[in-house]
Amino acid sequence: MGAQLRVYKRRIKSVTATKKITKAMEMISASRIVKAQRKVAASTPYATELTRAVTAVATGSNAKHPLTTEAENPTRAAVLLLTSDRGLAGGYSSNAIKAAGVLTERLRGEGKEVDTYIVGRKGVAYYGFREMPVTDSWTGFTDNPSYADAKKVAAPLIEAIEKDTAQGGVDELHIVFTEFVSMLTQTPVDNRLLPLSLSEAEDGEGAKKELLPLFDFEPSAEDVLDALMPRYVESRIYNALLQAAASEHAARRKAMKSATDNAGELINTYTRLANQARQAEITQEISEIVGGASALADATAGSDK
């Protein structure tokens, strides 16, 4: 009985230490969500207005440009997948990876080759373990991305979209990330960044419904689109990185809260079992004392006779 009681006490001590860690991580993630939400709210209007500016240029000219013109027979696409650098965030990374897998299969079903670009150690490890090809990857900034990180990610993607497919370029650019809906809901989504669909841009969330103004372009609409394309890609990737960071913190907070609650229930269970073991040990000791006293009394009575 004493050995069993020691086992329960050791388990209670271990689970209590784990509970302190999960509680601390829950509080840290909760504090970071607020900062991430502010960054998302600050970057979204810029990305929306930049998309609207590209739409205005495209609708006001007949220029053919990779930013707005679809290839007649697209044969190659790039997929940018955003995952996390750290774990303990529930199904955050696995859900994004699953969404990227579905998108990749759909693109291949359309007869397109797919180049995969990954942000986050979890995605890199997943593809590396399964020996799946990765064109490029970036790690180390998923929980607090900056615009410089977005530019670093966007550079090879812009270079690929500007190249011909015969030279290793791509016809389409897709991004898979986790959209922050609320503290309890984070949804994996896949969006096509390039070429920009003008009808989707006009009907998108936050877009203004008034008629777009007409412009005269100097020196040409193509030059304006060339200047806007890197800004558009960078701003959209930056907004997606911020959305993913907020989703990661929210998912980690929810996972750590669940772990903390489970640890509390486990401590209560082990405490109850330890109390039962201690009570059984006391009962056994009392039984042994009573039995010994009874045996001694019987022995004494026999000797008197």
More confident residue, 165 or 61: 165
Beta bridge partners of 114: 77
CB 11 within 8 A of CB 263: no
Residue 226 pLDDT > 90:
no
CB 29 within 8 A of CB 256: yes
Residues 117-169 pLDDT 10s: 999 999 999 999 999 999 999 999 998 999 999 999 999 999 998 888 878 88
Distance CA 299, CA 305 (A): 10
More confident residue, 238 or 295: 238
Q: What is the mean pLDDT of the chain?
A: 85
Rounded Cα distance, 197 and 48, in Å: 14
Beta strand spans in 61-182 (E): 76-82, 113-119, 136-138, 172-180
Residue 161 CA neighbour count, 13 Å, CB half = 25
pLDDT band at 207 (very low <50, low <70, confident <90, very high): very low
Alpha-carbon distance 99 to 138, whole Å?
A: 19
Q: What does 228-262 look like in DSSP terms, one character per residue?
A: HHHHHHHHHHHHHHHHHHHHHHHHHHHHHHHHHHH
* Helix 221-304 with 147-162: angle, nearest 10 deg: 130
Confidence of residue 199 (pLDDT cuts 50, 70, 90): low
pTM: 0.82
Q: What is the per-residue pLDDT across 247-281, written as a single tens digit (0 to 9) for each?
A: 999 999 999 999 999 999 999 999 998 888 888 88
Please identify which residue in the block is written with the tokens 């150690």: 121
pLDDT of residue 205: 46
Determine contact, residues 153/119, Cβ cutoff 8 Å: yes
Q: Which residue has the higher pLDDT, 47 or 210?
A: 47
Closest-CA residue to 206 (of 92, 1, 66, 52): 52
pLDDT in tens, 168-197: 889 899 999 999 988 888 999 999 988 876
Residue among 241, 239, 202, 224 at smallest CA distance from 96: 241
Q: Name residue 280's amino acid.
A: A
Q: Are 297 and 38 in contact (CB under 8 A)?
A: no
Exposed e or buried b per residue across 188-213, where buried means at least 16 C-beta atoms within 10 angstroms of its C-beta:
bebbebbbbeeeebeeeeeeeeeeee
